[in-house]
Chain A
C-alpha cells in the first residue's frame, strides 16, 4: 500500500522517473517478501517456545520515554535497547524464570523477575537520581552498544563549562575522540576528517542546515528542551543516510505527562524558559520552550561610540529559538507527535561616512516541522511514519542612503533551502537474536543557492533577481537492516541502503552497503565496520570562519553527489569493578566528488550567481587516525579523557597545482580532559582541558619584486614600474598555527529556593582560565622605514597573530518549578 501511495504522490514527475521509481518499488517489494520469508524461517526455527515482551520504558516522575535504555536478560546474555520512543521488544523462553535488568544513565537501575507463558505488554518506570549520583560510564553489558554510537547524557553535558556559560550540546560533542573544532568557539564540527556540512543534524527527524546562532558561537538547540542526543561517526546503520561523516540525532522532550513543570534560565547573553505538562494526564502532553539571545546588549558600547563618531559602526545581534511539541497516546498504544522549531538570527550594523548612511542587515534562520505516527501492529511489529518540512533562509541587505536627498541605494542577497520528506520505517524482532529494520524515504528539495538584486533610484535594473538559478532535486532511499546475534560472542549489523538522486537531466544511483561486526568476551569487545555514504548537497566555503555566507548548493547535472567509504574498528575494555571504560578505535575514510571554490574566487562577488562556474569538482580526500577514549565514573567523580591522532588531506586537479594538501582543520593531535567532581554543600566542580594541534594556514614561501598584475586591467600603471613586492605562495596550507589549548572551569551550586522549595542552580564559569591567546591566523605584515632611497627602504617583517578569545567569565541562574 505504501509503495502505491508513493507512486501516486509522484505522478507529477515525468514518465522516465516514474518508470524508474516503479522498478525500485518492485525491488523494494521483493526485499519485503524476502524479509518476510526470513522472518517466517526464524519464527519456525526459534520462536516456538518463546514469549514476547514489549512496552515502554519511561521516567517515573514525568512519563517521558527514555531513549536508549537497556533491557538486559542475563540468562540469555541478551539485551535490547529502547528506540527513540522509549519502546522495547524482547523475547525469551516461556515458563522460565527470567531476571530482567533495566538501566538508563541518570536513573536507578530496575531489577525484576518474570515468568511468562504468553506474550505481554509491560511498561517499566525508572526513578531519576540526582545529578551527583549519575555515573557517566556506559553499561557495556549491552550488545547493542556499538562503539561508534554515542548516546550522549544531556544532563551531564549541561555541566560542562562553555564559552559565556552557555551549555551547548553540539559544542560538547567536540570532547569526543574523532571530533575536532574549527574556528574557536563556533559550533562547526569536523568529524573524522569531514566538514561541518557532512554532519546530518536531525531535530525530531527533520534536518537542520545551519545549527548555529550568533555567527556560530552558539548552537540553535536549547539544552533545556533536549531529551536525547545520539551521535554516530562510523558504522552507520542503514536507516541513516544523506551525509558522509556523522549523524547527530536530537530528540526534544515530549512533555511531562504527570504534572505541569517549568524551567527558567538567566545567562549573560541569553535567557530561556520552558513549560511542559499534561494535556490529558498520562496520555498526552505538551512542551514549549523559548530562548532569546541579547548579545546586542553587550554591543551597546558600539552604539555610544557611533553617537560620538559618525564613522564608528553601531552593531546589534539578536537571536531566538522557539520549540513546541505535543504528543498523544491512543488507546491502542499508537502515538502521534507534532513538533515545530523556529529559530532566527538578526545582525544589524549602521555607520555614517560624510553624508552617506551605510546599513547592513543580516538574517538567517531555520524552521522545521515534524509529524510522526508510530504504530504497533503487535509486540514485535512496529511502523513509524514521518512527515517533515524544513527550511533554511539567509538574507543579507546592504544599503546606503544619502542623508541630504534621502535617496537609497541597496544590494541584497538571499539563499534558501526548502525540503519536504516522507519516511516510512518498519521494525521487527523475530527472535531475541534477530531484528529487522526496513523503510523507504522520499524527499523533495528546492534550493536557491544565491539570489541577488541591486536597486538604485538612478539605476533601476534589478537584473540579478531574474537570473538567479533555482534547483529542484528529488531523492528517494530504501533500506533494510538486520541486527543478528549469531552466537553469545558474535553480533552483526548488516544493512543496505539504496539511494536515488535526481536532478533536472540526470539520475544518480547509489548502493550503500553497511556492515558492522562485534565480538565480545566478558570485558572486552571488538568491532569492525564498513560504510559507504553519499551526500546530495555540498557546502561551498572559502572562509575559515564558517560564516553564514557559506553557500549550500545541491547536486546538479554537472556536480555529482559527494561520497565516502569508511572502514573502522575498535576495542572496548569494560572494567565495571574499577568503573573504567576504555575505547580504542581506528578509522580510514576515503572521500570523493568533493567540491571547492576555484583558487582565488571571490565568493562575495555578487556577479558570481552561477556557482557551478567557479568551483573545482571531483576532489578527493583521505582521513585516517586513531582514537582513544577513557571514561571513569562514580557518583562523586567523573572523567573523560579523549585523544585523537589523525591525518586529513585533500586533492583537486587545479588547486595547489594538483598536489595533495592538508585540510585546514587537519589536527594531528587532539586531546581533551573533562573532569566533574562533587563537592560539599551541593557544589559541583567541572573543568575541561583542551589541547589541539594548530590548524593550517597558507603563508608566503618567498617575497619577490613585481608580479602584481591584479590591476593590470587599468591604464594607470603608476605601480607598474614601482618597486612593490608580492608574495610567492607555492603550496596551500603550508604552515601550522601554534598549538591550541585552554582550560575552562565551572562551579555549580544546586539548591532549593527558601520560600517554595524549588530546585535552583547557580553556575559560575571561566572559559580559558589562563588567558591563552590561541591564534587562528597569522599575518606577515611589514612597515616601511628609512629614507626614500629605494634600495635602502627597510621593511620589517612582523608576524602577528590574531586570537579570538582571552579569559571569558560567565554566570547563569536556573530555576525549575
Chain B
C-alpha cells in the first residue's frame, strides 16, 4: 500500500515541482451553475435496518456555509412498498433517519419519499433489497511467514442466475475497537479479470459457485500512551459478506479515484444519483457478519 501511496505522492509532487510557487488567488469569476436548493437523500435500506441522511443542497458559490445549512428541518420521510403502502420513518437525529424494524423483505423493490414544505417532494427510483447470500467452506489460516502477521481467509458462495452485486467488508478487532483491515484478493486471476475491488458484479461467474481467497493483515496502527504510532495486533477478524443493489456498485466504479486522493489531475466523475429532481444515492443491501478469533 505504501508503494502506491508513494506513487501517488510522486505524481502530486511532480505537479508541484512546476507549480508550487505559483499558487494564486483565483482571478475572474466562476459561472454560478447552482441549480437551486434541492432535497438530498443518501443511505441504504436492508431487511433489518434503514439509515438515511436527508438534507438540502448548498451552493458551492455562496462564499461560505454552515453545516447547519444542509439541514432540512421539515422533512418527512417514507419508505414506499411495491404495493404503494407508505411506511413513515420517525426516528430522526439531525440529518440521520434510522429504523431497525420496518419489516422490509429481500427481493422486494422499495422507494424512498421525502416531502418538504419548502422544497417539495422527491421520490427515489426503485431500489431492490437483494437476497442474502451466505458463504460456506470458510477456512482461516494464520500466515506467520509474511512481512506482517496475516490471515488467509478462504470461502465459497453460490451465485444464482441474473445480475447480482456483492460486497465484502473486512475489519480487525481488538477488545471493542474495530478497525478496517488491510487486505487484498489473493486469487490473482479473479483480481485481474473479474473482481473490481471489494464491491463486484457476477458478470464473469454468473450462476456458478465462486471461491475467494483474501489475505488480511492482523495488525493496525494506533496511538500509544505517548501518542506515538504503534502497531497493535488484533485478536479477531470480521468479515461481512452479502449482496448490494446495483446502485452502490455503479457508484463505486465511478468513484474509485476519490479513494486515491488524486482527483485534482483526473476528470471528476459525474455524481451518480437515483434521486430524480434531487441529489443523492440510496441503495439496498443484505449481508451477514462472520467473526474469527486469531491465535
Chain A residues engaging chain B, CB cutoff 8 angstroms: 185, 215, 217, 299, 313, 315, 347, 349, 356, 358, 360, 396, 398, 400, 409-411, 454, 456-459, 461, 463, 467, 542-545, 547, 549, 597-607, 609-610, 613, 655-657, 694, 698-707, 709-716, 720-721, 723, 725, 727-732, 734-739, 773, 775, 777-780, 782, 786, 790-797, 799-806
Task: Report B75 CB to chain A, min CB distance, Å.
Answer: 12
The contact sample of 8 A-B pairs, CB cut-off 8 A, is: A398-B7, A411-B4, A547-B265, A604-B260, A703-B57, A706-B53, A778-B30, A797-B60
Q: By the criterion CB–CB under 8 Å, are B65 and A794 in contact? A: yes
Given contacts A599-B254, A791-B71, A800-B24, contact A702 B58 (CB under 8 A): yes
Residues of A within 8 A of B210 (CB): none
Residues of A within 8 A of B254 (CB): 598-600
Bound-state CA distance A582–B154 (Å) is: 74
Which residue from chain B places its CB closest to the CB of A596 in the assembled complex?
B267
Of B79-87, B117-125, B129-137, B167-175, which binds chain A?
B167-175
Residue B103, interface by CB 8 Å: no
Selected contact of B267 from candidates A347, A542, A805, CB within 8 Å:
A542
> What are the 8 tightest A-B residue pairs by CB atom distance, in nearest-first order?
A791-B68, A706-B53, A458-B147, A738-B28, A715-B171, A705-B55, A706-B42, A713-B198
Selected contact of A411 from candidates B7, B248, B265, B269, CB within 8 Å:
B7
Q: By the criterion CB–CB under 8 Å, are B4 and A606 in contact? A: yes
Residues of B within 8 A of A795 (CB): 64-67
Bound-state CA distance A140–B99 (Å) is: 81
Residues of A within 8 A of B224 (CB): none
Given contacts A599-B270, A707-B40, A793-B66, contact A805 B22 (CB under 8 A): yes
Bound-state CA distance A238–B30 (Å) is: 45
Residues of A within 8 A of B191 (CB): 607
Task: Report A426 CB to chain B, min CB distance, Å.
Answer: 46
Q: Is the interface of B mostly helix, strand, loop or mixed?
A: mixed
User: Which of A411, A657, A709 neighbours the largest number of chain B CB atoms within 10 Å of its CB?
Assistant: A709
Interface residues of B in 274-289 (CB under 8 A from A): 279-281, 283
Residue B253, interface by CB 8 Å: yes
Which residue from chain B places its CB closest to the CB of A729 in the assembled complex?
B271
Selected contact of A803 from candidates B24, B63, B167, CB within 8 Å:
B24
Which residue from chain B places its CB closest to the CB of A794 in the assembled complex?
B66
Residue B138, interface by CB 8 Å: no
Task: Report A703 CB to chain B, min CB distance, Å.
Answer: 5
Which residue from chain A places its CB closest to the CB of B52 in the assembled complex?
A706
Which residue from chain B places its CB closest to the CB of A599 in the assembled complex?
B269
Task: Report B104 CB to chain A, min CB distance, Å.
Answer: 19
Residues of A within 8 A of B270 (CB): 599, 655-657, 729-732
Which residue from chain A places its CB closest to the CB of B58 in the assembled complex?
A703
Q: By the criterion CB–CB under 8 Å, are B280 and A704 in contact? A: yes
Given contacts A602-B260, A716-B180, A804-B19, contact A704 B70 (CB under 8 A): yes
Bound-state CA distance A705–B71 (Å) is: 8
Bound-state CA distance A706–B13 (Å) is: 30
Interface residues of B in 142-198 (CB under 8 A from A): 145-147, 167-171, 178-180, 188, 191-193, 197-198
Bound-state CA distance A270–B171 (Å) is: 53
Selected contact of B22 from candidates A712, A739, A806, CB within 8 Å:
A806
Bound-state CA distance A315–B10 (Å) is: 10
Q: By the criterion CB–CB under 8 Å, are A609 and B17 in contact? A: no
Q: By the criterion CB–CB under 8 Å, are A804 and B269 in contact? A: no
Residue B259, interface by CB 8 Å: yes
Q: By the criterion CB–CB under 8 Å, are B238 and A715 in contact? A: yes
Selected contact of B257 from candidates A600, A782, A791, A801, CB within 8 Å:
A600
Residues of B within 8 A of A545 (CB): 15, 265
Q: By the criterion CB–CB under 8 Å, are B22 and A706 in contact? A: no
Q: By the criterion CB–CB under 8 Å, are A600 and B24 in contact? A: no
Selected contact of B266 from candidates A457, A542, A804, CB within 8 Å:
A542
Q: By the criterion CB–CB under 8 Å, are A711 and B259 in contact? A: yes
Residue B252, interface by CB 8 Å: yes
Residue B295, interface by CB 8 Å: no
Residues of B within 8 A of A716 (CB): 171, 178-180
5 further A-B pairs in the complex, CB-CB below 8 A; given A409-B2, A713-B169 = A349-B10, A600-B254, A735-B33, A791-B67, A804-B18
Q: By the criterion CB–CB under 8 Å, are B168 and A706 in contact? A: no
Selected contact of B27 from candidates A410, A454, A736, A773, CB within 8 Å:
A773
Q: By the criterion CB–CB under 8 Å, are A607 and B24 in contact? A: no
Selected contact of B180 from candidates A547, A604, A715, CB within 8 Å:
A715
Q: By the criterion CB–CB under 8 Å, are B6 and A704 in contact? A: no
Bound-state CA distance A804–B43 (Å) is: 40
Task: Report B267 CB to chain A, min CB distance, Å.
Answer: 6
Q: By the criterion CB–CB under 8 Å, are A715 and B170 in contact? A: yes
Residues of A within 8 A of B199 (CB): 712-713
Bound-state CA distance A217–B273 (Å) is: 40
Residues of B within 8 A of A655 (CB): 270
Query: For chains A and B in complex, what number of residue pairs have CB atoms within 8 angstroms?
Result: 298
Task: Report B44 CB to chain A, min CB distance, Å.
Answer: 9
User: Which of A398, A707, A782, A797 neighbours the largest number of chain B CB atoms within 10 Å of its CB?
Assistant: A707
Which residue from chain B places its CB closest to the CB of A701 in the assembled complex?
B33
Task: Report A616 CB to chain B, min CB distance, Å.
Answer: 12
Task: Report B262 CB to chain A, min CB distance, Å.
Answer: 7
Given contacts A701-B33, A712-B252, A795-B66, contact A706 B180 (CB under 8 A): no
Residues of B within 8 A of A609 (CB): 192
Bound-state CA distance A802–B23 (Å) is: 5
Q: By the criterion CB–CB under 8 Å, are A703 and B28 in contact? A: no
Q: By the criterion CB–CB under 8 Å, are A725 and B7 in contact? A: no
Residues of B within 8 A of A799 (CB): 26, 30
Which residue from chain A places its CB closest to the CB of B10 in the assembled complex?
A360
Q: By the criterion CB–CB under 8 Å, are A313 and B13 in contact? A: yes
Task: Report B68 CB to chain A, min CB distance, Å.
Answer: 3
Residue B14, interface by CB 8 Å: yes
Q: By the criterion CB–CB under 8 Å, are A604 and B3 in contact? A: no
Residues of B within 8 A of A215 (CB): 14, 18
Interface residues of B in 223-252 (CB under 8 A from A): 238, 240, 248, 251-252
Q: By the criterion CB–CB under 8 Å, are B42 and A701 in contact? A: no
Residues of B within 8 A of A396 (CB): 7
Residues of B within 8 A of A607 (CB): 191-192
Given contacts A710-B258, A716-B171, A732-B270, contact A704 B55 (CB under 8 A): yes
Bound-state CA distance A690–B199 (Å) is: 48
Bound-state CA distance A761–B208 (Å) is: 75
Bound-state CA distance A769–B173 (Å) is: 60
Residues of A within 8 A of B100 (CB): none
Which residue from chain A places its CB closest to the CB of B59 in the assembled complex?
A702
Task: Report A531 CB to chain B, min CB distance, Å.
Answer: 30
Residues of B within 8 A of A400 (CB): 2-3, 6
Which residue from chain A places its CB closest to the CB of B169 in the assembled complex?
A715
Residue B126, interface by CB 8 Å: no
Residues of A within 8 A of B53 (CB): 705-707
Residues of B within 8 A of A597 (CB): 267
Selected contact of B6 from candidates A347, A358, A467, A713, CB within 8 Å:
A358
Bound-state CA distance A501–B128 (Å) is: 46
Which residue from chain B places its CB closest to the CB of A214 in the assembled complex?
B18
Task: Report B146 CB to chain A, min CB distance, Å.
Answer: 6
Q: By the criterion CB–CB under 8 Å, are A729 and B268 in contact? A: yes
Selected contact of B17 from candidates A315, A694, A727, A780, CB within 8 Å:
A315
Selected contact of A802 from candidates B14, B22, B197, CB within 8 Å:
B22
Q: By the criterion CB–CB under 8 Å, are A610 and B193 in contact? A: yes
Bound-state CA distance A543–B59 (Å) is: 27
Task: Report B4 CB to chain A, min CB distance, Å.
Answer: 7
Residues of A within 8 A of B168 (CB): 713
Task: Report A297 CB to chain B, min CB distance, Å.
Answer: 14
Q: By the criterion CB–CB under 8 Å, are B66 and A792 in contact? A: yes
Task: Report A645 CB to chain B, min CB distance, Å.
Answer: 20
Task: Report B34 CB to chain A, min CB distance, Å.
Answer: 6
Task: Report A655 CB to chain B, min CB distance, Å.
Answer: 8
User: Which of A185, A356, A728 neighbours the largest number of chain B CB atoms within 10 Å of its CB?
Assistant: A728
Given contacts A715-B169, A725-B70, contact A602 B256 (CB under 8 A): yes
Bound-state CA distance A178–B267 (Å) is: 25
Bound-state CA distance A796–B67 (Å) is: 11
